[in-house]
Copies of this chain bind each other. A is one copy, B any other.
Amino acid sequence: MLDTAAGTKIQDVLSTLNRALANGNLDSALELFTEDCYWRDLVVFTWNITTVEGKAAIRNMLEARLHGVKPRDWTVDDNEPATHADGVTESFIEFDTAHAHGYGYIRLKDGLVWTLTTVMHDLKGFEEPMGYSRPFGAKHEEHQGEPTWAEERETELAELGVTFQPHTLIIGGGQGGIALGARLRQHGVPALIVEKNERPGDSWRNRYKSLCLHDPVWYDHMPYMKFPNTWPVFSPKDKLGDWLEMYAKVMELNFWGSTEAKRASFDDATQTGTVIVEREGQDVTLYPKQLVLATGMSAKPSVPTIAGQDVFAGLQQHSSEHAGPDGLENKKVAVIGSNNSAHDICAALAEHDVDVTMIQRSSTHISKSGSLMKHALGPLYSEQAVADGITTEKADLINASIPYALAADFQKPAFDAIREEDAKFYRQLEDAGFMLDFGPDDSGLFMKYLRRASGYYIDVGASQLIIDGKIKLESGSEVEKLTEDGVILEDGREVSADVVIYATGYGSMNGWAADLISQDVADKVGKVWGLGSHTPKDPGPWEGEQRNMWKPTQQDGLWFHGGNLAQSRYYSHFLALQLKARMEGVSTPVYGLQETHHLS
C-alpha cells in the first residue's frame, strides 16, 4: 500500500539518525532500532559485505567505522514512494559519506528500524562515465589527430598482459567474469579475463544440449545492457552464449579465450600476484595486483568415489561432461543424483527413448517453474513487475535488503502457497516413489540455493516424465558399488547400465585456489558459499552472508566472484568498487573480515 505518511515517518527516523550519527551519539542512534535489528552493509560502511545483527553488533560496527565514513544527509528517496503494509513501513533511502554516495533500503517496525541496508552507489571522484557523463566518442577540437577508437582498442588488445599488466586478473569467462569485466572497464580498471574455452559463452554452449536457463529473463540481465523485450523467458543455452559473446565484444572486454590458468602465487611484500597462464599453447606470465576467481561455483565437478568404478565397462562421466542424448540410443543410462542437472539430463534422454534411470539418494526439493515465477520471483522479476515500475535495479536492492537471518521467514509463505497449489502434482511425484522436501525449515528453493547451492530441481517437465515412468526412478538408497554392467544400491537393488552419469554436483570454489595457488592458501581462505545455517551441507557457525563471495578473503588480493546471473550482475558492482578503490589508493579498512571455519 502506498502511503504518504509512511514517507514522513521514515524521514523523521532518518533525520534523528542523521543528527545522532553526526554527533557521534551512538546511544541516541541505537534507540531508533528495534531489539531484533539488522544492518546489512554492502561496502559503503565496512568495505565488506556483512550484516551486523542486533544493537550490540551495530554499536561495534559504528564505533569502528563512524569516524571514517562520516555519513550524512539521510533522506527518503523522493522518487520512490514509501509503503506500509502488515506493520512494516519501508522505502528506498539516500545518504552521503565522506568518500561515497550511498543508497539503501529501510524497514521500520513499530516506528523503529528493523532492517537497514546500506550500499555504495559510487566512489566520489571516481563516478562511472555514463548517462550525462558518458564518453564523447568523436575526437573533436583539441583531441583531433589522436588515435581513433579502433586504433586505441587494437593497441590495448596487443599490449595488455604483454607490455602493460592488468590491475585485476579474472580467471573464468562465464557470466561472472564477464559481468565483473564490464564493471571494471567502466571504472577504468585495466582488467583481463582468461577463459579456458575459446569464446565468451562457451561455458554455456558446451553443456548438455537441452539446457535452458531455469531462471527467467527478468532475473538474468547483465549489467548496463538489458536483454531486449523480444528475448525468450528462459534462454536456451546457446542463445545465452551468443549474448555473452556479443556483450563481451561491445562492452570492450579484454578476453583471452583458449587460455588456462596454471599456477599462481602472491608476493605479500610487493602485493603483486604472479600468474602463469597457457594462452593458445604458449606460457604467459602475468603480474596482477588483484586476482579474482570467477570460475563458477558450479564448475569444479565433484565425483564420489564408489567401489567398482574401475571395473565398470561402460562410459562414466560427470554431468558437466555430458553433451546430450546423441549417440546414446539403445544404451541403458543410470544417472546418479536428483537435482537440476540430473533431471534435465534424464528428461532429454527419455525424450529420445533412451532407457534412463535416476538414482535418488536423498530427498529433493521440486518447484514447478511456473509456480516459482508466480509466487517467488514474480513480485520482483517479471513483466508485470517491470510494468509496475520495479526496475531490475530496484528489485535487486529490495532483494538484497532482506537479511539472510530473516530470509527463510520471507521465503516460506511463497513456498507454502506453491505446496498448496501444486498439491496434486506433489502427491503424484511421491506416488512415483520420489522423495520430496521443502528444505529443513520448509523455506523452499532459494534458501537451499543460498545455503548449499544444491538439493533442488526447478521443474520444467522432467517430473511429469518421472510420474509417467518414462524416467525410471530408484530412490531412497545410497550407491554401494558399480559392477561391470550396472550399479548396485546399498539396499541390494540393481540398475543395469551401459553409461553412468554422475550428476553429483560441485565442490567449494576454494578447491580452485588449491589447484592454482596452494592448499595452504585454499585452507587459509576456507569454504566458499553458504551462510552457516546449521542445515545440511551448510555447517555453522552462523556467518549471515555468503562465505568468501564478492568480498575480502583471508588472502589479500584473492577474491571469489560468481553465482547465478542475478548475483553476478548485482554483486559485481560491489566487487568492482572494492577493486577500483584499491587501485586508486582509497583507504579501504575492512570491518568484520570473516574467519575461516571450514576447509571445504
Interface residues of A (CB under 8 A from B): 128-132, 134-141, 144-145, 148-151, 153, 186, 205, 209-210, 212-213, 217, 224-225, 228-239, 242-243, 245-247, 249-251, 347-348, 351-352, 369, 383, 460-461, 464-465
Contact = CB atoms under 8 A, between A and B. Distances in A.
The 6 closest A-B CB pairs, nearest first, are: A137-B232, A145-B351, A149-B236, A138-B212, A246-B246, A138-B234
A352 B236 CA distance: 49
A238 B131 CA distance: 21
A210 B129 contact: no
Contacts of A140: 369, 460-461
B137 A236 contact: yes
A145 B239 contact: no
Given A137-B234, A148-B236, A242-B249, 12 more contacts: A131-B383, A134-B230, A134-B383, A140-B369, A140-B460, A144-B347, A144-B461, A145-B348, A149-B239, A150-B205, A150-B209, A153-B238
Nearest to A231: B134
Given A140-B460, A209-B148, A249-B246, A229 B236 contact: no
A460 to B, nearest CB: 5
A200 B67 CA distance: 55
A387 to B, nearest CB: 8
A232 B464 contact: no
B233 A228 contact: no
A238 B148 contact: yes
Contacts of A230: 128-130, 134, 186, 224, 251
A141 B247 CA distance: 31
Residue of A205, A232, A348 with most partner-chain B CB within 10 A: A232
Contacts of A250: 228, 239, 242-243, 246
A465 B137 CA distance: 20
A235 B242 CA distance: 23
Contacts of A144: 210, 347-348, 351, 461, 465
A352 B233 contact: no
28 contacts: A128-B230, A131-B383, A132-B383, A134-B232, A134-B233, A137-B232, A138-B213, A138-B232, A138-B234, A138-B236, A138-B369, A139-B212, A140-B461, A141-B461, A144-B348, A145-B348, A145-B351, A149-B238, A150-B209, A150-B236, A150-B237, A224-B228, A224-B229, A224-B230, A225-B228, A228-B250, A230-B251, A242-B249
